[in-house]
Every structure is written in structure tokens, then in C-alpha cells.
Amino acid sequence: MNTLSLLVSALSQGMIYAPMALGVFVAFRILNTPDLTIDGSFVAGMCVCAVVAIAGHPYAALACGLLAGALAGLVTGLLQTKLEINPILSGILTMTGLYTVNFMLLGGQSNLYLQRTELNSAGTETQVASETLYKSFRSFMAALTGDRKFNSNLSALIVTALIVVVTVILLAVFFRTRTGIAIRATGDNEEMVRSSSINADRSRVLGIMISNALVAFSGALLCEQQRYADLNFGSGMLVVGLASVIIGQVFFGNRGVTLGIISAVAGSLVYRVILQVAYKVDMPSYAVKLLSAIIVVIALTIPRLRRLAAQRRADREEETV
């Protein structure tokens, strides 16, 4: 593959994972709460999507995946607010419970391909690939351009980018509505929200639901693009999302909610390009998670290192005086 097609493939992956980065952004940056449900809701989105897509409804599958995430978020939110369980533990509990649910959705196996067995005219069993968003969009692009071999990564990139742009606009608008700023303020100063006669618990639950819905939507998109759902795909997803959010912050800084939303998407794209480069230099695929963890650690350490450097400089100046 040449460099351009590698870039297209990286960007299309980046777009598919962008809603996940947005979900992590909502949880960590807006609600200011570490939410580990994300690992589970990503897979839940995948599994629900797979089941519905196999039943022959590729578009409803995406919506159902999204709803599954919202539901997972609702559970975590209620654990946090009604039962007052520590936020991190609430997330872990939901994630753990989700494993069973996801396993059941996949019919007791660890992965599920988007295809079904049909009898052909000769009476023999054949595997028929299920319809997906990506499949139909690719044939649409092929018809449009007259190129029967239209690059599947490029068509995936285009359609996902359209979806992500709509998502970004919707989110940016939402976080300026009354409900939206209540959620933002809940992450910033919950006491102030309560004193403004707003049910902060409800804002928090809604925020967690939105976050997990985005994450699960990302899982659903990935499921349709790669044509299978995998039970173990979610582990470490949170760190991947965090890496994206932090990388985005490097480029855009920490200013305002709209810019933050855009930066999370940009971070997801850059992150996938970094990974693609790493693969290019023969990094084995299992090294991805270690790389993500290292990126997050480095990014989180930079402010501290800067502070230390500034301190040392100040000390040195004092000595010379």
C-alpha cells in the first residue's frame, strides 16, 4: 500500500473512533469524572449492532448500538447518584456486568461475523454477508463515480466523516442549551448547580448517558466497518480515548467546549496516524495498548515536568542573585 492509502485507512479508523473520543471527552473533561463503563459500552455497542445488523437492519443497528450505550450509562449514573457508589467503582461494576450481557448477545461465543447462512438455489448452505452502512455507501460511491473498485477505506472515511461532523455540530449546540450548560456546570462546580435549583444528579446521569451513547455508537460503527463484533475489543478502550483527547488538547489547548469537542476528534485522527506510522516501522499489533498507555503517561507528565523546570530555573536565578 502506498502512503496515501495508508493515510486514508488511518483517517477512516480515526473517524470511526472519534465518537468514542468524544464520549471520553464528555466524561473526563466535561463531567470531570473518570468513567470505566466505557470499556464495556464500546463492546455493547458492537454486539447490539451485530445482532440487529444480522437480522437485516443495518441502520437501526447503529441506533440500537447507541441506545445500548445510553442504557449502560444510565446504570452507571444511577449507581453513582442514587446509590452513591464511588464513580470509578460504579463504572467497573457496570463494565463487569456488561461482559455477561455482551456474551449473551453474541450467543455465547466470543465473536460474531455479520453474515448469515442461507440455502442457495442448488440447495447448499452459503454464507451471505449482511448489509451494512459501509457496504451500501461504497456501492453508492461506486455508482456515483462509475468506478466499480472504489476504495473501501475512502468511502468509509467519507461516510464516517459526515456522521462525525453532524455529531460534533449536535454536541456543540447541545452544550449551549440550558440542559447542556447544566451538565457542564455539574462537572465544574456541582454545589453551584444545586444552589441554582437544578437537579445536579439528573444532569450527571444525563451526561454519563450521552458519554456512553457516543462510545457505543463508535463501537457500532466499527462493527459495521470491520464486519464483526468481538467480546474483548473494549479492553483498554478508555486509555485509547484518553490518548486521543490529550493529543487533541496538545493542538488546540484547553479553551471552551466547542473547541474541546473538535480537538477530541482531531486527537482521534492524529492518534490513528501515529499508530499507522508505528505499524509501518514493524510494531506488532499487540503493542498498541502499551503505546497508548505510554502516550497518556507522557502527556499527563508534561505539565508537571514544565512546573519542575520552571521551579529549577527560578532556583538558579535566586542563587545567582
Partner 1 sequence: MKGLKLIGMKKTFERGTPNEKVALNGVDLEVAGGDFITVLGSNGAGKSTLFNAILGKFRLDRGKIWLDGEDITRQKDYQRALNIGCLYQNPLRGTAPNMTIEENLALAYTRKASRSFFAVNRRDSAYFRELLKELDLGLEDRLKTRMGLLSGGQRQAASLLMATIAEPKLLLLDEHTAALDPATAEKVLALTNTIVSKRGLTCLMITHNMQSALAMGNRTIVMDSGRIVLDVSGQARESMTVSGLLDLFRERSGRELDNDRMLLR
What residues line the site for partner 1 (CB under 8 A)? 176-178, 180-182, 184-185, 188-189, 191-200
Compute the least distance from the CB of residue 249 to partner 1, in Å: 14
| Torsion angle in degrees (nearest 10) through CA of 151, 152, 155, 158 | -110
Rounded distance between C-alpha atoms, residue 214 and residue 221, angstroms: 11
| Cβ-based nearer residue to partner 1, 151 or 203 | 203
Residues in contact with 262: Cβ distance below 8 Å, sequence separation at least 6, in sequence order: 168, 248, 252
Single-letter amino acid code for the residue at 223:
C
Rounded distance between C-alpha atoms, residue 77 and residue 204, angstroms: 7
Compute the least distance from the CB of residue 68 to partner 1, in Å: 29
Helix (H, G, I), strand (E, B) or coil at 166: helix
Rounded distance between C-alpha atoms, residue 16 and residue 137, angstroms: 15
Rounded distance between C-alpha atoms, residue 145 and residue 140, angstroms: 9
| Cβ-based nearer residue to partner 1, 17 or 175 | 175
Compute the least distance from the CB of residue 84 to partner 1, in Å: 14
H/E element, 129: strand 125-129
Compute the least distance from the CB of residue 26 to partner 1, in Å: 14
Residue 234 vs residues 30, 37, 44: alpha-carbon distances, Å: 22, 10, 9
Q: Give the distance from CA 296 to its chain's centroid.
A: 16
Compute the least distance from the CB of residue 206 to partner 1, in Å: 15
| Cβ-based nearer residue to partner 1, 52 or 193 | 193
- Residue 245 near residue 29 (C-beta atoms within 8 A): yes
- Provide DSSP, 147-164: -TT--HHHHHHHHHHHHH
Compute the least distance from the CB of residue 256 to partner 1, in Å: 9
| Cβ-based nearer residue to partner 1, 149 or 178 | 178
| Cβ-based nearer residue to partner 1, 57 or 202 | 202
**Residue 287 DSSP code:** G
| Cβ-based nearer residue to partner 1, 126 or 196 | 196
| Cβ-based nearer residue to partner 1, 58 or 187 | 187
Compute the least distance from the CB of residue 184 to partner 1, in Å: 6
